[in-house]
Structure 1
Amino acid sequence: MSIRSNVFQAISRRAIKRNGLNQEQTVKHLRRVFNNTPTLPLIPRGVKIRQIALPEFKGDRVSVKSPSMTILYFHGGAFVSGATRTYHNFAARLAKTLNAEVFLATYPFAPEFPFPAASNRCLEAYHYLLKLGKSPKDIVIAGDSAGGGLTLTCLLQLRDKKLPLPRCAVALSPGTVAIPDDQRLQTSCHKDAMLSADLVKQIINIYLPNKEDRSHPYASPGLANFHGLPPIMITASQDEILYHDAQTAKQKALSAGVEVEWLERSGVGHVWPVLVPYLPEANQDFKKIVAFIQRYQHASEISHTYGVQP
């Protein structure tokens, strides 16, 4: 564990982690924190950022001049908050290293827009890329936390609708199960520097007010059948409360015969890889994420082999 990781987790525990908030207080707190995340833009030379505000897509495009691949990224924020600018450093390094364009998509937040508004909007974002003429074999879907769960949900929606699937996917500390296990949450709560058991349960109540929705595979992708999905990289910290969510998705993918790249660490916080270039652990694991994406860069046949139903 690096000194910088220790410092980040101490700040996170003080600024973000809370207990005993009601739903209204939870939304207000998380929006105050995640909608105004202080970031120092350290954008590599040759990478440009522009905003997109169209009916079919809202967000940012972070790109090199002549990209050869496309990454569709869904940000975190517990389904109630988050800002694309928080991810400019991470997206810019992906763009620079992979000679890519990264579309940082926005989506509607609960409680104003509960499930399935966010997942439907993410699917629309993928449709937008296809409308632009992007080839599925050159698209990667990725996301962190809530956005990691939305990444998996988007894959399931595409498969179920028999639409062409992307090259591969990356889910960083994904939230995958919306049916809380109180004992497990309480056991791991003390180790997590960002999320508490209380926060997780309130987020579920806010995003999925209808309890019958919580077992739906698009709300709890960790409970879904992953058959036919493309290769997926999943990362998780051993010290985070969503570690079991990530493990559940990994096991579901493996049992369905999906290729899985699993990356876990101890001594780091929730979604640590997005903290490039600030954390040494993030810088090390960023290279592993890039290597995973590059592994499938020339597998042009994947859009024809994945998505086949049993």
Structure 2
Amino acid sequence: MAEDEIDAIRALLASKPRPVGWAARRARLDEVGSVWPVAPDVTLETVDAGGRPGEVLLAPESDPTKILLFFHGGGYCSGSILSHRRMVTEAGRACGLRTLALDYRLAPEHPFPAALDDARAAWRRLRESGVEAGRIVVGGDSAGAGLALALMQRLREEGEAQPACAWLVSPWTDLTMSGATLTSKDADDPLIHKTYLEALASAYVPDDMDRANPSLSPLFADLSGFPPMLIQVGSEETLLSDAARLAEAAGGARVAATLEVWPRMIHAWPLWNARLNAGRRALAHLGAFARSAL
């Protein structure tokens, strides 16, 4: 059954040619990410998240005083609240808390540090509203996971309290693209390939910046003082090395890091939790992790 489910997701992703151009890429990610709607018992509210639109989502019986601040994936150039809405709402349900999904600015119109500045402003808005840092989970998938790590680095630099924990799905942590699985998993990954990542990085990173800068590639950051991390990645991903090396770096910095490698899973598979049992189980693992940290 698990093989049938992931094969169906692969078929969905392959049902149309890979789009060309930023507008088409954004529309396609919104389409495949929102193919299954949010459960009808979830409430949604649009909010000001520090100067950018945000969406607060709450499932029944969740604790509104605890929150998941979530940054969507899409290589800093696509993805949205819409594309990740189902994933975020079910993550909140699993954790038993409220969620805030951020509509941060996208490259190439808004290159680095726009997304990081927006993430920092959203964090500040939460803290100013009275939410304690220890009642916040920071999370994201793909580039959104990299953004979560960059936010925690900035918080440490500014002497701010860290969140209770971090949830990092299929994290893109190395914009220098030095991971071995970018080559060894290229034929297995239906979504992420080195040439595509190169286009994304070129759009996001200013020409005068070194891509090894830790704010761009948190794999190379000093992770000491970071909160516990749950890192989830699929075995079929070209970014498998990014996740594994992040866990190793966290361990070297004496940070508690749990690395889960999910057999047969592809990039950001919890997006399709409505029809993918492994996606639901990954969110259940998140729920246990977050409840323990909170």
TM-score (norm 1): 0.87
Residues 16/142 of structure 1: CA separation in 2 closer, same or farther (3 Å cut): farther
Structure 1 residue 13 displacement after superposition: 3.9
Match of 1:270 among 267, 271, 283: 267
Question: Is 1:223 paired with 2:213?
Answer: no
Residues 13/266 of structure 1: CA separation in 2 closer, same or farther (3 Å cut): farther
* Alignment correspondent of 1:168: 165
* Alignment correspondent of 2:10: 9
Partner SS for 2:185 = helix
Please list the CA deviations of residues 246-301 of structure 1 after superposition, one character each: whole Å capped at 9, or x if unmatched. Answer: 1121111110000011111121110112322210111122111111101112xxxx
Do 1:105 and 1:125's aligned partners in 2 also have CA atoms closer than 8 Å?
A: yes
Structure 1 Cα separation of the partners of residues 291 and 96 of structure 2: 11
Match of 1:27 among 2, 22, 47: 22
Question: Is 1:241 paired with 2:238?
Answer: yes
Residues 151/16 of structure 1: CA separation in 2 closer, same or farther (3 Å cut): farther
Structure 1 residue 113 displacement after superposition: 0.8
* Alignment correspondent of 2:110: 113
Question: Is 1:156 paired with 2:136?
Answer: no
* Alignment correspondent of 2:81: 84
Alignment of 1:278-293 (within 5 A): 278-293=275-290
Alignment of 1:137-156 (within 5 A): 137-156=134-153
Partner SS for 1:278 = coil
Partner SS for 1:72 = strand
Residues 196/54 of structure 1: CA separation in 2 closer, same or farther (3 Å cut): closer
Please list the CA deviations of residues 177-199 of structure 1 after superposition, one character each: whole Å capped at 9, or x if unmatched. Answer: 01123875233211101112210
Question: Partner amino acid for 1:59?
Answer: G
Residues 15/123 of structure 1: CA separation in 2 closer, same or farther (3 Å cut): farther
Do 1:261 and 1:292's aligned partners in 2 also have CA atoms closer than 8 Å?
A: no
Structure 1 Cα separation of the partners of residues 179 and 159 of structure 2: 36
Do 2:181 and 2:239's aligned partners in 1 also have CA atoms closer than 8 Å?
A: no
Partner SS for 2:118 = helix
- Equivalenced residue count is 290
Unaligned stretches of 5+ in structure 1? 19-24, 298-310
Structure 1 residue 115 displacement after superposition: 1.0
Q: CA RMSD in A?
A: 2.0
Do 2:95 and 2:286's aligned partners in 1 also have CA atoms closer than 8 Å?
A: no
Structure 1 residue 15 displacement after superposition: 3.8
Question: Partner amino acid for 1:9?
Answer: R
Structure 1 Cα separation of the partners of residues 179 and 223 of structure 2: 26
Residues 192/67 of structure 1: CA separation in 2 closer, same or farther (3 Å cut): same
Structure 2 Cα separation of the partners of residues 72 and 9 of structure 1: 28
Structure 1 residue 42 displacement after superposition: 3.6
Structure 2 Cα separation of the partners of residues 243 and 136 of structure 1: 30
* Alignment correspondent of 1:68: 65
Question: Is 1:255 paired with 2:256?
Answer: no
Structure 1 Cα separation of the partners of residues 101 and 179 of structure 2: 33
Structure 2 Cα separation of the partners of residues 104 and 275 of structure 1: 17
Structure 1 residue 141 displacement after superposition: 0.2
Residues 16/60 of structure 1: CA separation in 2 closer, same or farther (3 Å cut): farther
Question: Is 1:179 paired with 2:180?
Answer: no
Do 1:50 and 1:60's aligned partners in 2 also have CA atoms closer than 8 Å?
A: yes
Unaligned stretches of 5+ in structure 2? none
Do 1:16 and 1:30's aligned partners in 2 also have CA atoms closer than 8 Å?
A: no
